[in-house]
Chains A and B, each alone.
Chain A
């Protein structure tokens, strides 16, 4: 035997402070596994938090549906400012979606250095950074802003007001809110983006439209990627007939015309946003499931999966801890590119009058302004620009994420 004792730092190194109170000198020989086996193991704080969140969410939904009934869910007044929110089914789904997103941030917070590394790679794409900022604004306005803003109200007297800094022939608005200069009605700050034929402010409409778009895009995509990840990862990891059955089902589902299903359900139950979101969510995951499966197939062959298995990990543990995190880059990219498709589909359905007509969605507003393009061009144009910018931003974001998270570019780092 040569060079027996040459490795540096052998023996226990007690100088390192531990984050617990006890010294770090506990050695693996000292672990009493019999007591750990008997103990059965507790729950990690994160899992506990998730359980508590899921439980209180269930309770809140139940109380809203069963106890509150038709009354507002939240009706509080502090110092003259009343906060009234009657949560709809879609709102509850949205709350659930946002809670899941919050929990998805936990691994990001735990691996701050890895996140910083990906952020540096992402930052190189200027348009994507701008897109991210824009989307954050849209998201915050749509979710938080709409809670505190009044929904756009009917005011026939204020119809067809032009946007601020612009003017229109004074004969077009019913009554000009701003000054009339040389026979032209000037836009005012009261309606910065003008108004519709109903006199609804387009800024408020656009902001409430953000909420609809975010709800459609985020909820349906979350439903989709959840199912897609579960199906894709299960198919890849289990293999055999399970794989075969799941993927053939995906084939069939992909040929199914979702549009006609929506028509059918809209005919039966009315074209509510809830139905639209659920249909998009539960039928739109096929493509993502294929992506997840093909990625997961490769990841399942990695040695670290074999290492976890040989240490005694169960199949679900391996899928959850190793396979899913390592295909998350594909999932995130696919999700980011799925959202604009859904937003656009919702706008299209609303535009042709198949959505909920009382909902201030962008598509609805564009459709409403369709007849006035010659006189009040801004009615269709303002929500159209928001729609355009949002779709573009998501696409930029998706492309940049694909580049930043692509593991093939990590070689040699």
Chain B
């Protein structure tokens, strides 16, 4: 890296949405959609931003272009901070940084011709000469692979791929330096996707365009991007050069995402990484490392000798008690009753039978393999069976507490010294 300022730099970007409830619309909480992300894009560089749906990547894309007002953080273009205080400056920023939307159909006004829509940014930025706008639209449409006569057609007369090309033309017509593409191909089918990505690549080289590509699809990112940042629940958990991140992921979440890419070769042996459950709510993110509730490699406590599978199940059980939906004890009792002697009423089911049912419900192994741990789990199940959910959760937290849940992990370099730019945020890297 040179000491000159990068094209686009985002530091500690946050976007919190207030949660309002009740009659008085009082703010009762916050959804931390984007919670402190850093991103740097050089000229001509493509940076991928990947993550599951709901991880906040689209919000991040909109916020970093100030389409939505960020809650905090700084955004710099060519070293100049972008703020909304200075309107003419913000408008210049709007000219130099463009957003490409996911849905090519919705991004065109159905009552305006394609040419009109593509020319609109020119009009917004003060080009009043209609004939000149028309000339620019014509030349731009042909550069994105459309026929210049398509300018007179209406959105419903174009296919999805054509519309996305037109959307690209609209994003490029102001000659931006930065393009933020929010899932640009996820609404397109495979062959069109390849075309659009190739076009994006070609234009990037032609125009020396910096690109932020937001996608849930790692294959798309691998095809276009130089660097990649992996997002989970509003935070970036790993970032680095694409080859390095894809070859040797440093974060279990990245590993899980990589494992989810379909491989067309059935003989290739795949790591079976299970990523269960859904992304937790950003209104109440898990403590410590946000991924710990779903992490396949969550660090076990040192006090007990548990094997990996048993430990993860116990941890997941603990997470569900802390954060999951309430446990319907009546249903579990009824289930246990139906399992035992037919004349037992649900209220008379012995505690051990309820505990067995609970084990089944939470997918817990019947034997943990460590006597101490087994005893603790039994006590926790007994408390849960007695309806004391908080007490059970507290006991598990005391006995099976893990560093993943208690402390926020630090950023660590991944790989050798030559890969200083590849970093991951995980406790697994603490020892090194």
Mark A residues whose CB is within 8 Å of B: 1-13, 16, 18-20, 22, 24-29, 31, 33, 36-37, 39-44, 111, 113-114, 302-304, 306-313, 317, 321-322, 325-326, 407, 410, 413
Contact = CB atoms under 8 A, between A and B. Distances in A.
Contacts of B154: 113-114
A307 B101 contact: yes
Given A3-B198, A44-B130, A312-B91, A22 B135 contact: yes
B124 A308 contact: yes
A116 B29 CA distance: 52
A48 B297 CA distance: 69
Given A10-B202, A27-B143, 14 more contacts: A1-B198, A5-B202, A7-B144, A9-B142, A16-B142, A18-B135, A18-B138, A27-B139, A28-B173, A39-B126, A40-B126, A41-B126, A310-B65, A311-B120
In order of increasing CB-CB distance, the 9 nearest A-B pairs are A312-B94, A7-B145, A303-B106, A20-B131, A41-B126, A13-B142, A311-B121, A303-B107, A310-B99
Interface stretch (B108-116, B247-255, B340-348, B352-360): B108-116
Interface in B114-144: 117, 120-121, 124-128, 130-132, 134-136, 138-140, 142-144
Contacts of B91: 312
Contacts of A11: 142-143
Contacts of B101: 303, 306-307
Contact of A413 (B120, B130, B156): B156
Interface string B92-104: 1011001101010
A36 B126 CA distance: 7
Contact of B121 (A1, A13, A114, A312): A312
A8 B95 CA distance: 28
Contact of B143 (A10, A33, A111, A304): A10
Contacts of B329: none
B322 interface: no
Given A4-B201, A7-B202, A326 B110 contact: yes
B410 interface: no
B84 to A, nearest CB: 12
Contacts of B120: 308, 311, 313, 321
B284 interface: no
Nearest to B67: A310
Q: Is the interface of A mostly helix, strand, loop or mixed?
A: loop
Interface of B: 62, 65, 67, 90-92, 94-95, 98-99, 101, 103, 106-113, 117, 120-121, 124-128, 130-132, 134-136, 138-140, 142-149, 152, 154, 156, 167, 170, 172-175, 194-195, 198-199, 201-202, 207, 223
B135 A20 contact: yes
Given A4-B202, A12-B143, A111-B113, A24 B138 contact: yes
B143 A31 contact: no
Contact of B103 (A1, A7, A41, A303): A303
B132 A20 contact: yes
Contact of B140 (A3, A28, A114, A308): A28
A29 B175 contact: yes
Contacts of A308: 120, 124
B201 A16 contact: no
28 contacts: A2-B198, A3-B195, A4-B202, A9-B147, A11-B142, A26-B136, A26-B139, A28-B175, A33-B95, A36-B125, A36-B127, A37-B126, A41-B126, A41-B127, A302-B106, A304-B108, A306-B62, A306-B99, A306-B101, A307-B107, A307-B170, A310-B67, A311-B120, A312-B94, A312-B125, A325-B112, A326-B111, A410-B110
